[in-house]
Amino acid sequence: MSKLPPGQVRIIAGSLRGSKLPVPDRPGLRPTGDRVRETLFNWLQQHVSGTRVLDLFAGTGALGFEAASRGAAEVLLVERDAALAENLRASATRLKCANVRVECADVLVWLAQPASNQAGFDLVFVDPPFAAGLWDATASALRPWLADSARVYVERPNHADFAAPAGWQLLREGRTRDVHYALYATENRRAAATLAASS
């Protein structure tokens, strides 16, 4: 019996609207659904254009490419699976996304290195394979990589707990039958430091 071809997800809006991203048959690969992605980017509104975006556990790149389509200045996709990382690079080339870069690396190992992006990332997507349970560890490791007042999106199964780090404010959240998804604002460290120095 012949194997079914891999699935696809579509970019919803922006300059790449309607473009397709392949969904290979890989363990744990679970692209964020269209309805959830549309809701998330409606929440973000003015917080995408011109921003620096970090898509962790990128998988198909659906979130990162959606951000690129909507005007993000720079998108970095981090994916451990070499075949998926190669697919992401191929998609970036095919879609002529010069602002999309791919790192083939374990996310926690990558986050443990000294943060080289001095300006920090304005928007981060955290959607690891559900079986891995990496939400808390990833969120804790993110701090050096974040810009002031960054937005962080976290997607997890409904039954999984997540303890947001100190200084994160829940902005919006939603649920589907299987998934809980939430958008957080992180602290403005410069403002906090100024306040601390003046008190």
pLDDT digits (tens, 9 = 90+) for 3-16: 434 588 999 999 99
124-178 pLDDT, tens digit per residue, is 999 998 888 899 999 999 999 999 999 999 999 999 999 999 999 999 999 999 8
Evaluate if residue 196 carries a pLDDT over 70. no
Which domains, ranges and CATH numbers included, belong to the chain?
7-198 (3.40.50.150)
Tell me the average pLDDT across 17-43. Answer: 89
The per-residue pLDDT for 118 is 65
Q: Which amino acid is at 74?
A: E
Average per-residue pLDDT in the chain?
A: 89
Residue 168 CA to residue 76 CA, distance in Å, equals 22
pLDDT band at 194 (very low <50, low <70, confident <90, very high): very low
Identify whether the C-beta of residue 82 lies closer than 8 Å to the C-beta of residue 104: yes
Q: Which residues of 62-81 are buried (b: 16+ CB within 10 A; e: fewer)?
A: bbbbbbbbbebebbbbbbbb
Residue 53 burial (CB count, 10 A): 25
Tell me the average pLDDT across 29-55. Answer: 92
Evaluate if residue 197 carries a pLDDT over 50. no
Residue 108 burial (CB count, 10 A): 16
Evaluate if residue 83 carries a pLDDT over 50. yes
pLDDT band at 77 (very low <50, low <70, confident <90, very high): very high
